[in-house]
Chain A
């Protein structure tokens, strides 16, 4: 995984995913810096907005494949 930042593109290595206080926590390293990503219920509307188009496209694609297979 790569993350683009103001100091350039850095590698992000995931060490573990866990659940803390109703938050999904992804722990890893951004280069050598210890990093942590927390996703909670309050982030779902934003994620939903960001993922709406890719999810619709994926759904339509899967539906198309299923229709073709039935024929």
Chain B
């Protein structure tokens, strides 16, 4: 079976592993992930990760960061330095992120203390608090996580600004104030953010702004940011992220890779 074409997948979450599993009989699959364990946001101890990682039949290159795709080769850098791997197709399964400041249309200077919810939660889990009076933008899964993790890490109070009114649940916490159907239009403060002005005209004091609204595909492999040459995207944008949707996105990407390989092999 050495004539099977090589396929590279960036992202060893459930989506990437499901894609590798679906391709195991038609391609030699290599899965690259910058984190040294599989599972992505679902974690290496999740039952699905433990099932899929050994069963997917792929070479797992964990702890390596994919840098660049030129349509034929993927450049990754890991503990052993830079490595190039040829591939007939590249699958981007690098997950999703909350919308950034520019995407949310938040004007003003560039004060410190404006962070994505993913970063804020990650820091909070490790005992680092982005602010004692954070203002959290969003009402979905990331916003709910940010509220609970920042409060657990020591935030004195938090304000939740939910732009689209799609609040997942009202936090049962007297120190969390909710502003529905409003959005942050600008921020101010030097060197750190001190105020945020809402579309309603009100200005709120804060020492951090946590961006937790919306979901966008996370793409950071140069050459495969937009629809690239032989690049397939497997990035479900559901909020909250579910294992079923991740598996479905992986299978869908595998079907796209199969048709790409078939097209290449046709005389």
Contact = CB atoms under 8 A, between A and B. Distances in A.
Interface of A: 4, 6-8, 10-11, 30-34
Interface in B55-79: 60-63, 79
A34 B80 CA distance: 10
B126 A11 contact: no
Contacts, number: 31
B62 A4 contact: no
Please classify the interface of chain A as helix (H, G, I), strand (E, B), loop, or mixed, using the class held by over half of its residues. Answer: strand
Contact of A4 (B61, B63, B126): B126
A34 B125 CA distance: 25
Interface in B19-70: 35-37, 43-44, 60-63
Interface of B: 35-37, 43-44, 60-63, 79, 122, 125-126
B79 A34 contact: yes
A7 B35 contact: yes
A34 B64 CA distance: 12
A31 B36 contact: yes
A33 B126 contact: no
Given A6-B126, A11-B44, A30 B35 contact: no
A32 B126 contact: no
Contacts of B63: 31-33
A6 B36 CA distance: 13
